[in-house]
Amino acid sequence: MPKKNAEEKINLDSILFKCRDILRQARNSGSFFEKRDMMLTLVFLRFIGEKFEDGVKNLRQNLVAQGLDPDNEEIVKAFFDDATFTDGTYNLPVEARWSTIINTPAPQLNAALDTALKSIGANSKQLKGCFVEGTFTQRNLAANDIKKIVDEVNKISHKAFGEEKDLIGRVYEYFLKEFAVNATKEEGEFYTPHDVVQLIAAMIEPFDGTLYDPCCGSGGMFIQSAELVKAKRGDISRINVYGQEKEPATYRLAKMNLALRGISHNLGDEADSSFTHDLHKGVYFNYIMANPPFNLKGWKSGDVGTSRWADYEMPPESNANYAWILHMLSHLKPLDGVAGFLLANGALGDSDTVNIRQKLIEKDKVEAIIILPRELFITTDISVTLWILNQNKKGGDYHGRKLRNREHEILFMDLRTWTENPVKNENKKKVRLVTEQIERAARIYHTWQEEGVDGANYAVPELYRSVGIAEIEKNGWSLVPSKYIEFIDHDLEIDFPAEMKRIQQEMRDVLAQEKESQKMLEEAFRGIGYGIK
């Protein structure tokens, strides 16, 4: 049997599984959050170190191409001692380089890792405050345990896992899935899958300007949106990201993640709640992308002010869904801001928020409602909806497209049947949206927006339909798509008269065949001298 090559044998989940088991059995490994943060910090050090090594390698090659000797003492002093990289790569001091860490003797590893973190924080304004002092020495894992984990993390390389769009986010998701007992969506510990982020980004096209996420988690929305910007426009410097995160450890992770990618960002000076301490109050954004905690209770535990819901009414304390909607709306640029975000399906028609929903529709803030397939997420199988708010439904130029006036229209889409792409090797059933499906959904939405389209007749049964405000009012201001998208009773497609004729003909054919068989049998018996009565 032919041997598999090394890259085929390496599997991200198997590496993380080994690390998980080592941490579970290790003395002093701490809580779930401490285990997770230790692993994510190690992955960060691995990646920032690998980027530095790649940067040095590219710099050497460029110098050689220019006819310079990269080993010449003067060249080293001029180019390498204080290297500057144009792609955002950090120039690491010797003690913070992965090559130093991986070659450190096991008994000295905890101290060496903390020294690396302290050095990076001291030399980088963006990374200052990203690390908890004494992350490794306070835990003080046994030399054998920390060495095993570092050796496993050493296998996690962008060269082996280049298909991962947000690898730190992927590691974050894994540890939520495997370790977290209490890390539920309601508590804000959640990771939005790559395909879902790509769908939102493909819809609202955050190609330039400012992008905001009021509950940014590990920064995955920003990372994955940046990938789309690079693919479409090639320059992520055209987008500036702003965010806020309540959990201090996750806030630090987001800063690490964005710094590693060279993405310009402003997450505020601290971790805090967007409701009780809005770190970007008074700032308006071109785009908003978010996946807020579903059905969050007790969100008003503090002073949440009145300005965000002054034109509507205070959302109920029992559920923050509409508090998130109005918070995001208050941060959208008044003339042309666009938001795409996820909410639990209950927000489409719950009775205690009908007055807010009615005003949102009457003020023409809601542009599209898209129900997504179940089981897109690892940590929950709840069915969710993608909402799109738009401050300008009057039409005009948008990213090279001519948009028509869509006032008092809402596009409804139902993608619940798009479940034909299962994800393998997961502990629970999970599906994903592939590129073709994402492009098709975005095309339906963008075509509906464009000049020349008749919104009154824009529909495909069981998939999408454009609906006017009068019909929505008749349905009690409900945004449940099944109230508007035509459902086909496929039994009614049967031509019953023709079907009955076909069945009757089949019965006649069967009877005729039986008679023919009986006749042949009688003739056979007569041939041998027997009669059949």
**pLDDT of 116-137, one tens digit each?**
999 988 887 777 778 888 889 9
User: In the predicted model, what is the mean pLDDT of the chain?
Assistant: 84
Locus of tokens 């399906």: 345
Q: Which of 467, 415, 405 is nearest to 442 (CA)?
A: 415
Residue 120 CA from chain centroid, whole number? 29
The letter for the amino acid at 14 is: S
Highest mean pLDDT range out of 67-76, 363-372, 391-400? 363-372
Tell how strand 209-213 and strand 239-243 pair up.
parallel
pLDDT of 399 higher than 80? yes
Mean pLDDT, range 288-314, rounded to an integer: 90
150 touches 42 (CB < 8 A): yes
215 touches 245 (CB < 8 A): yes
Q: Which of 206-215, 487-496, 499-508 has the lowest mean pLDDT?
A: 487-496
249 touches 318 (CB < 8 A): no
Domain spans, the chain: 6-163, 185-483, 494-533
Q: Which residues pair with 306 in a beta bridge?
A: none
CA distances, 149 to each of 18, 29, 120 (Å): 8, 12, 21
Q: pLDDT tier at 154 (50, 70, 90 boundaries)?
A: very high
The pLDDT, as a whole number, for residue 20 is 85
Q: Which of 112-116, 215-219, 401-405 has the lowest mean pLDDT?
A: 215-219
Q: pLDDT tier at 8 (50, 70, 90 boundaries)?
A: very low
Highest mean pLDDT range out of 9-23, 40-54, 189-203, 265-279? 265-279
The pLDDT, as a whole number, for residue 532 is 43
The predicted model scores a pTM of 0.79
From CA 287, how far away is CA 359, in angstroms rounded?
22
pLDDT of 336 higher than 50? yes
100 touches 112 (CB < 8 A): yes
Between residues 14 and 115, the one the model is more confident about: 115
In a 13 Å sphere around the CA of 236, the CA atoms on its Cβ side amount to 18
From CA 308, how far away is CA 344, in angstroms rounded?
21
The CATH label, of 2.60.120.10, 3.20.10.10, 3.40.50.150, 3.30.465.10, for the domain at 185-483 is 3.40.50.150
Q: Is the dihedral of CA 115, 117, 120, 121 positive or negative?
A: negative
Quick one: 6-163 is in which CATH superfamily? Answer: N6 adenine-specific DNA methyltransferase, N-terminal domain (1.20.1260.30)
Q: Which long-range contacts (CB under 8 A, 24 or more apart) does 56-64 make?
A: 56/80, 56/83, 59/83, 59/85
Q: pLDDT tier at 170 (50, 70, 90 boundaries)?
A: confident
Residue 283 CA from chain centroid, whole number? 25
The pLDDT, as a whole number, for residue 184 is 43
265 touches 222 (CB < 8 A): yes
465, containing H or E segment: strand 464-468
219-236 residue pLDDT tens = 888 887 887 777 776 567
The pLDDT, as a whole number, for residue 472 is 98
Between residues 423 and 499, the one the model is more confident about: 423
Locus of tokens 């400012």: 210
- Would you state the structure tokens that stand for residue 135, as one six-digit string? 């992350």
Mean pLDDT, range 406-423, rounded to an integer: 94
Give 341: exposed, middle or buried? Use CB within 10 Å, 0-12, 13-18, 19+.
buried
The pLDDT, as a whole number, for residue 495 is 62
What percent of the chain is predicted at pLDDT more than 70? Answer: 83
From CA 183, how far away is CA 377, in angstroms rounded?
14
- Would you state the structure tokens that stand for residue 423, as one six-digit string? 């994800």
Mean pLDDT, range 319-344, rounded to an integer: 96
The pLDDT, as a whole number, for residue 32 is 73
DSSP H helical ranges for 234-386 = 248-261, 321-331, 354-362
Mean pLDDT, range 422-427, rounded to an integer: 73
462-486 residue pLDDT tens = 999 999 999 999 999 999 999 999 8
Q: Is the dihedral of CA 19, 24, 30, 34 positive or negative?
A: positive
Q: What angle do CA 227, 233, 239 make, to 5 degrees?
A: 70
Q: pLDDT tier at 181 (50, 70, 90 boundaries)?
A: very low
Q: Is the dihedral of CA 252, 153, 231, 177 positive or negative?
A: negative
The letter for the amino acid at 365 is: K
Task: Please give the backbone phi and psi of residue 157, each rounded to the nearest 5 degrees, phi first.
Answer: -130, 145
Q: pLDDT tier at 290 (50, 70, 90 boundaries)?
A: very high
